[in-house]
Amino acid sequence: MSTDVVIRSTRAPARRTPPLAAGAGPYRLALRRLRRDRVALAFGALFLVIVAACLAAPLYARDVAHTGPNDNHVTDVVRVGGARRDVVSPEGIPIGPTWHGRFLLGADQNGRDIAVRLLYGGRNSLEVGFIATAITMLVATLAGGVAGYRRGASDAVLSRLFDLIWAYPAVLLGVALGTSLALGGLNLGLFTLSGRSLLVPALIIGFVYIPYVARPVRSQVLSLREREFVDAARLQGLGDMRILASEILPNLASTLIVFVPLMLANAILLEAGLSYLGAGIQPPNPSWGTMIGDGIQLLPTALHMTLVPGAMLVLAVLGINVLGDGVRDALDPHAPTRLPH
């Protein structure tokens, strides 16, 4: 009876994975599975291309478009296929895509080059997204880890804080904080921020999403701390912080990795929403959200103003989401994840 069980349990995984995998660790295996996921890799590559293009914004502005992201050209004239055309017509309608170096993707109502603003705006949107995600992941891991590991009073206080932030609809809390901070910036003695700083929306978005990560981290740490290897570490005399860092954290890693693309995608979307409402990145700083907001004002006459930043935003977020799905499947096909709204 018992031999039967042993044989079955060793054979079952051997049939699913090739013999090569005998000595490979879980991350090696996950990487191998991810490498076979062509769709996820293609969308990941798409996202990387967008990031690279946005990083090259100053090059494009200087050498191709010959204008900056905030330079107005309302009264300028461009040559399109031999004909001279106003950048912004006397009726206030901006020019559409010229498919030339200048105004490649058209102009906006102030005669600014949309392609240049698109790349600079992408830098801002992505920067806010990355910083916000870093803040969410760091704070949530620390707070969720401490709450789950220490339990008792620290857990009670931290969990109530998570509940409190959770009770606000994400957009509404972001809007509240964004309005409040855009009014006068932040002043914490040593640490001051002006209302126009990019860090303001990044901090807000990072803060709003903390409970979405901290709650699952806490519940996973709660069960991890009861495992034998944690007891063993404690018996060896290791301190709490050491156990959290070297015993618990490595077991949390795959959950955290799955959350990174999910949070990044949502942070970029929330930034767009806040900027659209005027509570995110402040004008004249471009971002995909503010550009779409400008475009919606002129939707019937200048569709390109909405379509261009909108397409870029959707492609970037789609790239992150599909890659993230592939990473999740590769790490653990049954990992539960919930999209915040």
| Angstrom distance (rounded) from CA 201 to CA 125 | 10
Give the torsion sign (CA, 249, 252, 257, 261): negative
Task: Give dist(CA 319, CA 207) in Å, integer.
Answer: 24
Position 245 contacts other proteins (CB under 8 A):
no
Q: Is 237 in the site for other proteins (CB under 8 A)?
A: no
Are residues 309 and 118 in contact, defined by beta-carbon separation less than 8 angstroms? yes
> Residue 88, SS3?
strand
325 binds other proteins (CB under 8 A): yes
Residue placing its CB nearer to other proteins in the complex, 86 or 325: 325
User: Under the criterion CB under 8 A, does residue 180 sit at the interface with other proteins?
Assistant: yes
Q: Which of 5, 20, 160, 228 binds other proteins (CB under 8 A)?
A: 160
Question: With CB under 8 A as the contact rule, which of the stretches 8-16, 66-74, 112-120, 267-275 interacts with other proteins?
Answer: 267-275
Q: How many chain residues are in contact with other proteins, going by CB under 8 A?
A: 52
**Which amino acid does the sequence have at 298?**
L
Q: Which of residues 288-317 bind other proteins (CB under 8 A)?
A: 289, 292-293, 295-296, 299-300, 303, 306-307, 310, 313-314, 317
Quick one: how far is CA 31 from the chain centroid? Answer: 21
For residue 40, give every residue at least 6 positions away whose Cβ sits within 8 Å of its Cβ, in sequence order, or none: 34, 322, 323, 325, 326, 327, 329
CB of 45 to other proteins, least distance (A): 16
Work out whether the CA dihedral 299, 64, 290, 77 comes out positive or negative.
Answer: negative
Q: According to the binding rule CB under 8 A, does residue 284 interact with other proteins?
A: no
Residues in touch with other proteins (CB under 8 A) = 160, 163-164, 167-173, 175-187, 265, 269, 272-273, 276-279, 289, 292-293, 295-296, 299-300, 303, 306-307, 310, 313-314, 317-318, 321-322, 325, 338-339, 341
